[in-house]
A and B are shown apart, each in its own frame.
Chain A
Amino acid sequence: MPSRSGTRRKASRRAILKSALAGIATLAAPPVLGQAKAHVIVIGGGFAGATCARRLKAADGTIAVTLVEPNARFTACPFSNAVIAGLRPIEAQYFGYDGVKQAGVDIAGQIVVAIEAEARQVHFADGARLDYQRLVLAPGIDIRFDALPGYDQTAAEIMPHAWKAGAQTLLLRRQLEAMADGGVVVLSAPANPFRCPPGPYERASLIAYYLKTKKPRSKLILLDAKDTFSKQRLFEAAWKTLYPGLIEWVPLSGGGRVIEIDAKTRTLVTEFGSHLADVANVIPPQRAGAVAIAAGVADQTGWCPIDPHTFESKLVPNIHVIGDAAIAGAMPKSAFAANAQAKVCADMIASLIRGEDPREVKLINTCYSLVAPDYGISVAGVYAPRDGLLTEIKEAGGVSPLEAPAAQREAEATYAQAWFQTITREVFG
Chain B
Amino acid sequence: MTRPWSYRGISHGMIVVALLAVPIQAAAQPSSAAACSGCHAPVNDGPVPGLIGRPAGEIVTAMAAFRAGERTATVMDRIAKGYSDEEINAIAQWYAAQGQPAGNP
Contact = CB atoms under 8 A, between A and B. Distances in A.
Interface of A: 24-25, 27-29, 32-33, 35-37, 55, 58-62, 336, 339-340, 343-344, 347-348, 359, 361-364, 366, 378, 380-382, 393, 395-398, 400, 408, 411-412, 414-415, 418-419, 421-423, 425-426
B25 interface: yes
Contact of B83 (A59, A362, A418): A362
Contact of A25 (B11, B78, B82): B11
A422 B38 contact: yes
Given A29-B14, A343-B31, A364 B4 contact: no
A345 to B, nearest CB: 10
Interface in B22-70: 24-25, 28-29, 31-32, 34-41, 46-48
Contacts of A28: 4, 7-8, 11
Nearest to B78: A380
A412 B74 contact: yes
A67 B76 CA distance: 33
Given A28-B4, A421-B46, 16 more contacts: A29-B12, A29-B15, A32-B11, A33-B14, A36-B18, A61-B25, A62-B17, A339-B38, A340-B38, A366-B79, A396-B83, A397-B79, A415-B48, A418-B46, A422-B37, A425-B41
B7 A25 contact: yes
B85 interface: no
Contacts, number: 138
B47 A414 contact: yes
Given A32-B15, A343-B34, A344-B34, A396 B4 contact: no
Interface of B: 3-4, 7-8, 10-12, 14-15, 17-18, 20-21, 24-25, 28-29, 31-32, 34-41, 46-48, 74-75, 78-83, 87
Contact of A359 (B12, B15, B28, B31): B31
Contacts of A58: 24, 28-29
Closest 10 A/B residue pairs (Cβ): A382-B82, A396-B82, A36-B14, A343-B34, A396-B81, A364-B35, A361-B31, A29-B11, A422-B41, A393-B82
B75 to A, nearest CB: 5
A421 B47 CA distance: 11
Most buried by A among B11, B14, B34: B34
A395 B83 CA distance: 9
Most buried by A among B35, B38, B41: B38
A340 B29 CA distance: 13
Contacts of B14: 29, 32-33, 35-37
28 contacts: A24-B4, A29-B8, A29-B15, A32-B11, A60-B25, A61-B20, A61-B21, A361-B31, A364-B35, A364-B79, A380-B79, A382-B79, A382-B82, A393-B81, A393-B82, A397-B82, A398-B78, A411-B47, A415-B47, A418-B47, A419-B38, A419-B48, A421-B41, A422-B37, A422-B38, A422-B39, A422-B41, A423-B38
Nearest to A400: B74
B32 A361 contact: yes
Contacts of A423: 38-39
